[in-house]
Structure 1
Amino acid sequence: MKFTIDHFNINVLDLDKSLSFYEEALGLKEEKRHTADDGSYIIVFLGDGTTANKLELTWLKSQEKPYDLGDEEFHIAFRTPDFEAAHALHTKMGCICYENKAMGIYFINDPDGYWLEVVPVR
């Protein structure tokens, strides 16, 4: 039996803000959307246009306050062949939350506070 990763889900408070962030910061584009008939939720799948992996953003109408992310001991990593340009973009956006120059990586925060690791192609 073999499994492959299909998607990773995160819940977001402001869907439009999150969609704008993920497109500007990481180039992810909406590929599929499902809206509940009663308007209680919207699910949007984002893709990088290269791999089959998807990031699923879920917006819940009932959620009125920011999500509790616990100790933030999880993250999603994104690899880029143009690390310096990515770092410059994220610096300009003001979303870098942690850098480890010795390891050659850094992290950015999305609008909900999720940590996203940026690593160079090695």
Structure 2
Amino acid sequence: MKYKLEHACIRVMDLDKSLEFYKKALSLEEVRRLDYPDYKFTLVYLSDEDKNFEIELTHNYNPEKPYEMGNGFSHFALTVSDLESSYEFHKNMGLEITALKGLPGEKPKYYFITDPDGYKMEIIRGDEL
């Protein structure tokens, strides 16, 4: 059997704020939206230009409190060809960002940013994969 990775779902508190983050910080685009007002939620699917994988943002109307991250999920990872320019771009956006990192004895090859709901995104130098 052949399987294809389709999407990952995360729940967000403020859909507009999350869309702004993913569109501006990561150049993802909205590929479809499904509104279910009778059930009080909206699904928004985002992808990169290759459309090989999607992040589904689930927005439940009027959540009472922020979602708990739990301790099992770690992060999403995205590659970029110019890590240093990407790092400066995200830093200048005022995002929560780590220092550039690498394994001991190696040049820096990744960093992390955090979305409005606390989900981590690892940004990896594309030529390192």
Q: Same fold (TM over 0.5)?
A: yes
Counterpart of 1:7? 7
Counterparts of 1:39 and 1:16 in 2: how far apart (Å)?
Answer: 19
Any conservation in 1 of the 2:76–2:120 contact (CA below 8 Å)? yes
SS at match of 2:99: strand
Q: Deviations over 1:32-74 (max 9, x none)?
A: 0000041600000001111321110000014121111123751
Counterpart of 1:41? 41
Aligned-residue offset at 1:99 = 3.2
Any conservation in 2 of the 1:80–1:121 contact (CA below 8 Å)? yes
Any conservation in 2 of the 1:31–1:46 contact (CA below 8 Å)? yes
Any conservation in 2 of the 1:34–1:42 contact (CA below 8 Å)? yes
Q: Is 2:111 the partner of 1:106?
A: yes
Q: How does 1:38-117 map to 2 (within 5 A)?
A: 38=38, 40-71=40-71, 73-103=73-103, 104-117=109-122
Q: Which runs of 5+ in 2 are unaligned?
A: 104-108
Moved over 6 A (4+): none
Structure 1 length as normaliser, TM-score? 0.91
Structure 2 length as normaliser, TM-score? 0.87
CA-based RMSD? 1.6
* Higher Rg: 2
Stretch deviating more after TM superposition (93-102 or 107-116):
93-102
Aligned-residue offset at 1:29 = 0.8
State the number of aligned residues.
122
Letter in 1 for 2:113: I
Identity of aligned residues (%): 39
